[in-house]
């Protein structure tokens, strides 16, 4: 918002017609929005032209929905942007905002944005607007891209444990970055905002629930086990899970399919950023030395990128579990097409016998194309058909996939028609 305000001034908008206010400031929270607007106009004479009002932490504005509705209906010369990190503004009093405002859900920085904000000078990579285009690449282009991406790998691993938050990305000290992230999540969101906004009284139980999810990031949610370990009743635990999802700290994925069998099945849970679990669990950089933990962090990052890129297109994300514990990590359903993603972030190259679950799913659902997310840069390219399936499968190293998905999202935001 501050960048936008600065750009407006450069475009010739009078500074007196631009207001930025953050309502986590105790005085502004106490005064209320009308008093803030009044104080602004007492100090800054209004100039000709539109007004631009930027309100941060808007969840602390009392009856913000009613206020915005009134502004849009009666203050036609005023443009308003509200942000809130702790409460789903998009879902509160939605009926009063139909046709009056647009909701934009902001995830943490993509890997592409992370590299941009760090100002790193790395070898240029080919632009990829859609992963589908990779199927047309020849071996020469794949090899050249793999060579050019060699310096990206270390930065990708740093991104996984530092996080996609602008403040932590720009802090030189890794230890300080993780401490800031831990304090922001635990102290501000869980302890302060949950109490202030939702009236949560059992904050310690909520914190323990979140710690449990950090320990099981990317895994199936076992509610009986969670309740037993934390000594909380199921309705309480269910309420905590729903609060954590509503405040955008976790994602929940249902199993693939429909009907009663799916309703009884367990959800798969991802944290909204791969760096949260290492920071909250005080793991430091040890994640990079643990192949299992590194694979989970990569899976979390891949899902976050896919969700951020496609959620506005009403994509349904699920996971699939078949016979003999065969499974597919992520399944995207969009426009009548089913696109599975399997994450194999390990040193060994991926071959068909490692993908029995994907083969069973693709054969049963007659999938046209699928993606396998790999670790090594030379584990890249279209692989042979899986047994029993006529599916085209593209292996893409995780750093490249996250980079390209983030790049496509940025291009879509800036140049929607071009993308």
Nearest to 280 by CA among 380, 364, 188: 188
Q: Is residue 366 domain-resident?
A: yes
Q: Do residue 79 and residue 228 come from a single domain? A: no
Number of domains the chain is built from: 2
Q: Do residue 231 and residue 309 come from a single domain? A: yes
Buried b (16+ CB within 10 A) or exposed e, 264-288: eeebbbbbbbbbbbbbbbebeeebb
Q: Is residue 336 domain-resident?
A: yes
Give the range among 7-16, 99-108, 137-146, 301-310 with minimum mean pLDDT: 99-108
**Is the predicted pLDDT of residue 262 greater than 80, yes or no?**
no
Left if phi > 0, otherwise alpha if psi is -120 to 50, otherwise beta: which for 47?
Answer: beta
CA angle (119, 123, 127) in 5-degree steps: 95
**Is the predicted pLDDT of residue 94 greater than 60, yes or no?**
no
The pair of structure tokens assigned to 336 is 């009548």
Tens of pLDDT, residue by residue over 311-367, are 777 889 999 998 888 999 999 998 889 999 999 998 888 988 899 999 999 999 999
Q: Is residue 11 domain-resident?
A: yes
Q: Do residue 80 and residue 217 come from a single domain? A: no
Q: Is residue 102 domain-resident?
A: no
Q: In the prediction, which pLDDT does 17 show? A: 97
Domain range for 9 is 2-97
Question: Predicted confidence band at 400 (pLDDT cuts at 50, 70, 90)?
Answer: very high
Q: Do residue 168 and residue 240 come from a single domain? A: yes
Q: Do residue 33 and residue 160 come from a single domain? A: no
Q: Is residue 419 domain-resident?
A: no
Q: Do residue 166 and residue 286 come from a single domain? A: yes
> Are 415 and 392 a contacting pair, CB within 8 Å?
no
Rounded average pLDDT over 274-296: 91
Q: Do residue 220 and residue 345 come from a single domain? A: yes
> Which runs of E-coded beta strand occur in 207-277?
250-253, 268-271
> Are 207 and 186 a contacting pair, CB within 8 Å?
yes
> Are 273 and 113 a contacting pair, CB within 8 Å?
no
Tally Cβ neighbours within 10 Å of residue 100.
13
Q: Do residue 47 and residue 143 come from a single domain? A: no
Q: Is residue 105 domain-resident?
A: no
Q: Do residue 184 and residue 74 come from a single domain? A: no
Q: Is residue 104 domain-resident?
A: no
Q: Is residue 106 domain-resident?
A: no
The pair of structure tokens assigned to 411 is 């291009």
Percentage of the chain lying above the pLDDT 70 cut:
92
Q: What are phi and psi of 225, to 5 degrees?
A: -65, -45
Q: Do residue 145 and residue 33 come from a single domain? A: no
> Are 84 and 48 a contacting pair, CB within 8 Å?
no
CA gap 111, 105 in Å, rounded:
17
Tens of pLDDT, residue by residue over 147-195, are 999 999 999 999 999 989 888 888 888 889 888 888 887 777 777 777 7
Rounded average pLDDT over 266-278: 93
Percentage of the chain lying above the pLDDT 90 cut:
58
Domain stop point among 37, 65, 97: 97
Query: Tokens 């990708």, residue?
Result: 156
Left if phi > 0, otherwise alpha if psi is -120 to 50, otherwise beta: which for 109?
Answer: beta
Q: Do residue 178 and residue 58 come from a single domain? A: no
Q: Output 103 or 391, whichever has higher pLDDT.
A: 391
Q: Do residue 23 and residue 93 come from a single domain? A: yes
**Is the predicted pLDDT of residue 97 greater than 70, yes or no?**
no
How do 381-383 and 18-22 pair as beta strands?
unpaired
Domain stop point among 55, 73, 97: 97
Question: Predicted confidence band at 246 (pLDDT cuts at 50, 70, 90)?
Answer: confident
Bridge partner list, 415: none
**Is the predicted pLDDT of residue 419 greater than 50, yes or no?**
no
The pair of structure tokens assigned to 267 is 């959800």
Domain stop point among 71, 97, 123: 97
């Amino acid at each position: 918002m501050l960048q936008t305000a600065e750009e407006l001034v450069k475009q010739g908008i009078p500074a007196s017609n631009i207001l930025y206010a953050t309502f986590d400031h105790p005085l502004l929270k106490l005064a209320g929005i009308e008093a803030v607007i009044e104080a602004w106009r007492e100090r800054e004479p209004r100039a000709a032209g539109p007004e631009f009002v930027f309100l941060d932490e808007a969840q602390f504005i009392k009856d913000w929905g009613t206020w915005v509705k009134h502004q849009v209906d009666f203050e036609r010369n005023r443009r308003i942007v509200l942000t809130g990190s702790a409460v789903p503004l998009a879902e509160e009093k939605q009926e009063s905002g139909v046709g009056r405002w647009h909701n934009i859900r902001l995830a943490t920085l993509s890997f592409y944005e992370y590299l941009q904000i760090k100002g790193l000078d790395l070898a240029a990579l080919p632009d990829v607007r859609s992963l589908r285009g990779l199927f047309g690449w020849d071996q020469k282009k794949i090899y050249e891209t793999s060579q050019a991406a060699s310096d990206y790998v270390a930065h990708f691993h740093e991104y996984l444990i530092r996080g996609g938050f602008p403040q932590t990305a720009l802090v030189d000290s890794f230890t300080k970055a993780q401490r800031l992230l831990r304090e922001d999540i635990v102290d501000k969101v869980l302890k302060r905002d949950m109490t202030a906004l939702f009236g949560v009284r059992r904050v310690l139980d909520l914190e323990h629930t979140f710690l449990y999810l950090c320990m099981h990031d990317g895994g199936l949610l076992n509610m009986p086990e969670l309740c037993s370990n934390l000594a909380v009743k199921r309705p309480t635990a269910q309420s905590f899970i729903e609060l954590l999802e509503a405040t955008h700290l976790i994602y929940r994925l249902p199993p693939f399919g429909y009907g009663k069998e799916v309703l009884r099945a367990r959800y798969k849970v991802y944290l909204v950023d791969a760096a949260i679990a290492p920071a909250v669990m005080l793991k430091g950089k040890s994640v990079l030395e643990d192949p299992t933990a590194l694979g989970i962090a990569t899976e979390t990052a891949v899902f976050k990128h896919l969700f951020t890129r496609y959620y506005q297109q009403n994509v349904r994300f699920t996971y699939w579990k078949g016979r003999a514990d065969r499974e597919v990590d992520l399944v995207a359903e969009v426009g009548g097409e089913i696109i599975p993603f399997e994450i194999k972030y390990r040193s060994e190259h991926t071959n068909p016998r490692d993908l029995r679950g994907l083969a069973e799913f693709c054969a049963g659902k007659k999938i046209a194309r699928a993606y396998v997310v790999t670790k090594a840069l030379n584990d890249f390219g279209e692989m042979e058909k899986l047994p029993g399936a006529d599916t085209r499968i593209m292996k893409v190293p995780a750093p490249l996939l996250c980079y390209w998905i983030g790049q496509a999202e940025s291009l879509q935001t800036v140049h929607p028609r071009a993308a």
